[in-house]
Structure 1
Amino acid sequence: MEAKSVARYVRISSQKARLVAANVRGKNIEEARKILKFTPKKAAAVLDKILHSAIANAEQLGGVDVDTLYVKNIIINDGPTWKRIRPRAMGRAYRILKRTSHITIIVEEA
Protein backbone atom coordinates (compact mmCIF):
# COMPACT_ATOMS: atom_id res chain seq x y z
CA MET A 1 0.00 0.00 0.00
CA GLU A 2 1.22 3.46 -0.77
CA ALA A 3 -0.10 6.86 0.19
CA LYS A 4 0.85 10.28 -1.03
CA SER A 5 0.53 13.90 -0.10
CA VAL A 6 0.80 16.87 -2.45
CA ALA A 7 1.53 20.50 -1.62
CA ARG A 8 1.17 22.92 -4.49
CA TYR A 9 2.40 26.50 -4.88
CA VAL A 10 4.88 26.18 -2.00
CA ARG A 11 6.87 29.41 -1.77
CA ILE A 12 10.36 27.91 -2.07
CA SER A 13 12.69 27.33 -4.98
CA SER A 14 12.55 23.74 -6.23
CA GLN A 15 16.34 23.65 -6.49
CA LYS A 16 16.71 24.41 -2.77
CA ALA A 17 14.00 21.93 -1.81
CA ARG A 18 15.63 19.13 -3.82
CA LEU A 19 18.82 19.46 -1.75
CA VAL A 20 16.92 18.56 1.41
CA ALA A 21 14.75 15.93 -0.30
CA ALA A 22 17.83 13.97 -1.38
CA ASN A 23 18.73 13.37 2.29
CA VAL A 24 15.33 11.84 3.10
CA ARG A 25 14.50 9.77 0.01
CA GLY A 26 14.42 6.03 0.77
CA LYS A 27 14.57 6.36 4.56
CA ASN A 28 11.97 5.01 6.99
CA ILE A 29 9.64 7.68 8.31
CA GLU A 30 11.08 7.89 11.84
CA GLU A 31 14.58 8.47 10.51
CA ALA A 32 13.30 10.88 7.86
CA ARG A 33 11.43 13.01 10.43
CA LYS A 34 14.55 13.15 12.64
CA ILE A 35 16.69 14.26 9.70
CA LEU A 36 14.17 16.95 8.74
CA LYS A 37 13.88 18.15 12.34
CA PHE A 38 17.60 18.88 12.59
CA THR A 39 18.20 20.21 9.09
CA PRO A 40 18.58 24.01 9.31
CA LYS A 41 16.85 24.89 6.05
CA LYS A 42 13.41 26.28 5.25
CA ALA A 43 12.67 23.33 2.97
CA ALA A 44 13.08 20.91 5.89
CA ALA A 45 10.10 22.37 7.75
CA VAL A 46 7.98 22.32 4.59
CA LEU A 47 8.90 18.71 3.76
CA ASP A 48 8.25 17.61 7.35
CA LYS A 49 4.74 19.02 7.19
CA ILE A 50 4.02 17.26 3.88
CA LEU A 51 5.53 13.99 5.18
CA HIS A 52 3.29 14.20 8.25
CA SER A 53 0.30 14.60 5.93
CA ALA A 54 1.35 11.57 3.86
CA ILE A 55 1.61 9.47 7.03
CA ALA A 56 -1.87 10.58 8.08
CA ASN A 57 -3.18 9.67 4.62
CA ALA A 58 -1.64 6.19 4.98
CA GLU A 59 -3.37 5.73 8.36
CA GLN A 60 -6.71 6.50 6.73
CA LEU A 61 -6.31 3.68 4.20
CA GLY A 62 -6.74 1.03 6.90
CA GLY A 63 -4.66 -2.10 7.24
CA VAL A 64 -1.44 -0.13 6.98
CA ASP A 65 1.19 -0.51 9.69
CA VAL A 66 2.55 3.00 10.16
CA ASP A 67 5.76 1.74 11.79
CA THR A 68 6.84 0.00 8.57
CA LEU A 69 6.38 3.00 6.26
CA TYR A 70 9.27 4.48 4.34
CA VAL A 71 9.66 7.42 1.96
CA LYS A 72 9.35 5.82 -1.46
CA ASN A 73 9.74 8.97 -3.53
CA ILE A 74 9.79 12.75 -3.29
CA ILE A 75 8.94 14.66 -6.44
CA ILE A 76 9.63 18.40 -6.56
CA ASN A 77 8.52 20.25 -9.68
CA ASP A 78 8.63 23.93 -10.55
CA GLY A 79 5.48 25.90 -9.90
CA PRO A 80 4.64 29.28 -11.39
CA THR A 81 7.16 32.06 -10.84
CA TRP A 82 6.00 35.37 -9.40
CA LYS A 83 7.58 38.32 -11.19
CA ARG A 84 8.29 41.40 -9.10
CA ILE A 85 10.06 44.67 -9.88
CA ARG A 86 12.87 46.22 -7.81
CA PRO A 87 13.59 49.90 -8.41
CA ARG A 88 17.25 50.65 -9.19
CA ALA A 89 19.32 53.74 -9.83
CA MET A 90 18.56 56.23 -12.63
CA GLY A 91 14.98 55.06 -13.15
CA ARG A 92 15.82 51.50 -14.05
CA ALA A 93 13.98 48.45 -12.77
CA TYR A 94 15.33 44.96 -12.14
CA ARG A 95 13.16 41.89 -12.15
CA ILE A 96 12.93 39.68 -9.07
CA LEU A 97 11.78 36.08 -9.62
CA LYS A 98 10.00 34.56 -6.66
CA ARG A 99 9.90 30.87 -7.40
CA THR A 100 7.31 28.33 -6.23
CA SER A 101 7.25 24.53 -6.17
CA HIS A 102 4.85 21.62 -6.30
CA ILE A 103 5.97 18.92 -3.85
CA THR A 104 4.70 15.30 -3.79
CA ILE A 105 5.75 12.77 -1.16
CA ILE A 106 4.91 9.08 -1.59
CA VAL A 107 5.20 6.69 1.37
CA GLU A 108 4.90 2.92 1.16
CA GLU A 109 5.01 -0.10 3.46
CA ALA A 110 8.33 -1.87 3.60
Structure 2
Amino acid sequence: MEAVAKLKNYPTGPRKMRLLADVIRGMQVEKALGILEHHPQHNATPLAKLLRSAISNWEQANSDKSAADANLIVKTVFVDGGRVLKRMRPAPQGRGYRVRKRSNHVTIIVDSKN
Protein backbone atom coordinates (compact mmCIF):
# COMPACT_ATOMS: atom_id res chain seq x y z
CA MET A 1 0.00 0.00 0.00
CA GLU A 2 1.47 3.31 -1.11
CA ALA A 3 1.13 6.67 0.60
CA VAL A 4 1.55 10.06 -1.05
CA ALA A 5 2.44 13.50 0.30
CA LYS A 6 2.60 16.70 -1.75
CA LEU A 7 4.20 20.09 -1.20
CA LYS A 8 2.89 22.87 -3.44
CA ASN A 9 4.44 26.22 -4.37
CA TYR A 10 7.56 26.04 -2.22
CA PRO A 11 9.55 29.20 -3.06
CA THR A 12 12.83 27.82 -4.36
CA GLY A 13 13.98 26.82 -7.80
CA PRO A 14 13.05 23.32 -8.98
CA ARG A 15 16.64 22.53 -9.99
CA LYS A 16 17.88 23.10 -6.45
CA MET A 17 15.15 20.90 -5.01
CA ARG A 18 15.79 18.13 -7.57
CA LEU A 19 19.41 17.87 -6.42
CA LEU A 20 18.18 16.97 -2.95
CA ALA A 21 15.35 14.73 -4.19
CA ASP A 22 17.85 12.67 -6.19
CA VAL A 23 19.80 11.96 -2.99
CA ILE A 24 16.88 10.31 -1.14
CA ARG A 25 15.17 8.51 -4.03
CA GLY A 26 15.01 4.74 -3.41
CA MET A 27 16.39 4.93 0.15
CA GLN A 28 14.96 3.50 3.32
CA VAL A 29 12.86 6.08 5.14
CA GLU A 30 14.93 6.22 8.34
CA LYS A 31 18.16 6.69 6.41
CA ALA A 32 16.61 9.38 4.19
CA LEU A 33 15.34 11.29 7.26
CA GLY A 34 18.79 11.12 8.82
CA ILE A 35 20.42 12.51 5.69
CA LEU A 36 17.86 15.31 5.33
CA GLU A 37 18.14 16.41 8.96
CA HIS A 38 21.92 16.91 8.65
CA HIS A 39 22.04 18.25 5.09
CA PRO A 40 23.32 21.85 4.78
CA GLN A 41 20.95 22.87 1.97
CA HIS A 42 17.96 24.93 3.15
CA ASN A 43 15.59 22.80 1.05
CA ALA A 44 16.28 19.81 3.30
CA THR A 45 13.98 21.05 6.08
CA PRO A 46 10.69 21.13 4.13
CA LEU A 47 11.62 17.92 2.32
CA ALA A 48 12.15 16.12 5.66
CA LYS A 49 8.83 17.47 6.90
CA LEU A 50 7.13 16.23 3.72
CA LEU A 51 8.71 12.79 4.15
CA ARG A 52 7.42 12.62 7.73
CA SER A 53 3.97 13.51 6.38
CA ALA A 54 4.14 10.67 3.82
CA ILE A 55 5.12 8.24 6.59
CA SER A 56 2.20 9.43 8.69
CA ASN A 57 -0.16 9.02 5.72
CA TRP A 58 1.10 5.45 5.26
CA GLU A 59 0.50 4.70 8.94
CA GLN A 60 -3.05 6.07 8.69
CA ALA A 61 -3.81 3.85 5.70
CA ASN A 62 -2.22 0.78 7.35
CA SER A 63 -3.37 1.16 10.92
CA ASP A 64 -2.54 -2.46 11.75
CA LYS A 65 1.19 -2.02 10.92
CA SER A 66 3.97 0.22 12.20
CA ALA A 67 6.22 2.19 9.85
CA ALA A 68 9.34 0.95 11.65
CA ASP A 69 8.36 -2.71 11.18
CA ALA A 70 7.20 -2.34 7.57
CA ASN A 71 10.64 -1.48 6.12
CA LEU A 72 9.39 1.58 4.22
CA ILE A 73 11.31 3.01 1.29
CA VAL A 74 11.03 6.25 -0.66
CA LYS A 75 9.55 4.76 -3.82
CA THR A 76 9.19 7.92 -5.89
CA VAL A 77 10.17 11.57 -5.52
CA PHE A 78 9.56 14.07 -8.27
CA VAL A 79 9.83 17.84 -8.44
CA ASP A 80 7.82 19.91 -10.91
CA GLY A 81 7.97 23.62 -11.59
CA GLY A 82 5.39 25.72 -9.79
CA ARG A 83 4.24 29.27 -10.32
CA VAL A 84 6.74 31.93 -11.36
CA LEU A 85 6.50 35.42 -9.89
CA LYS A 86 7.76 37.99 -12.38
CA ARG A 87 9.42 41.03 -10.85
CA MET A 88 11.39 43.96 -12.26
CA ARG A 89 14.84 45.01 -11.10
CA PRO A 90 16.22 48.47 -11.88
CA ALA A 91 18.97 48.47 -14.46
CA PRO A 92 21.28 51.14 -15.92
CA GLN A 93 20.04 53.87 -18.27
CA GLY A 94 16.39 53.59 -17.28
CA ARG A 95 15.99 49.96 -18.21
CA GLY A 96 14.47 47.18 -16.14
CA TYR A 97 15.66 43.60 -15.93
CA ARG A 98 13.14 40.82 -15.34
CA VAL A 99 13.63 38.64 -12.27
CA ARG A 100 11.83 35.30 -12.29
CA LYS A 101 11.17 34.04 -8.77
CA ARG A 102 10.53 30.35 -9.26
CA SER A 103 8.71 27.87 -7.05
CA ASN A 104 8.17 24.12 -7.20
CA HIS A 105 5.82 21.26 -6.40
CA VAL A 106 7.25 18.14 -4.71
CA THR A 107 5.53 14.73 -4.54
CA ILE A 108 6.83 11.88 -2.38
CA ILE A 109 5.48 8.31 -2.53
CA VAL A 110 6.51 5.81 0.15
CA ASP A 111 5.81 2.09 0.08
CA SER A 112 6.81 -1.03 1.96
CA LYS A 113 9.68 -2.96 0.48
CA ASN A 114 7.81 -6.28 0.38
Question: Residue 15 of structure 2 corresponds to which residue in structure 1?
Answer: 15
Give the TM-score taking structure 2 as reference length: 0.92
Question: Residue 66 of structure 1 corresponds to which residue in structure 2?
Answer: 67
User: Deviations along 1:24-74, whole A, 9 cap, x unmatched?
Assistant: 011111100011111111221121111011011111112343011110010
Question: Do the aligned residues in 2 keep the contact of 1:58 with 1:64 (CA within 8 Å)?
Answer: no
Count of paired positions: 110
Question: Residue 42 of structure 1 corresponds to which residue in structure 2?
Answer: 42
Q: Which runs of 4+ in 1 moved over 3 A?
A: none
Question: Residue 85 of structure 2 corresponds to which residue in structure 1?
Answer: 82
Paired residue type of 1:71: V
Question: Do the aligned residues in 2 keep the contact of 1:82 with 1:99 (CA within 8 Å)?
Answer: yes
Secondary structure of the 1:66 match is coil
Give the TM-score taking structure 1 as reference length: 0.95
Higher helix proportion: 1
Query: Percent identical across equivalent pairs?
Result: 39
Q: C-alpha distance in 2, partners of 1:85/1:18?
A: 27
**Residue ranges of structure 2 left out of the alignment (5+ in a row):** none
Question: Do the aligned residues in 2 keep the contact of 1:65 with 1:109 (CA within 8 Å)?
Answer: no
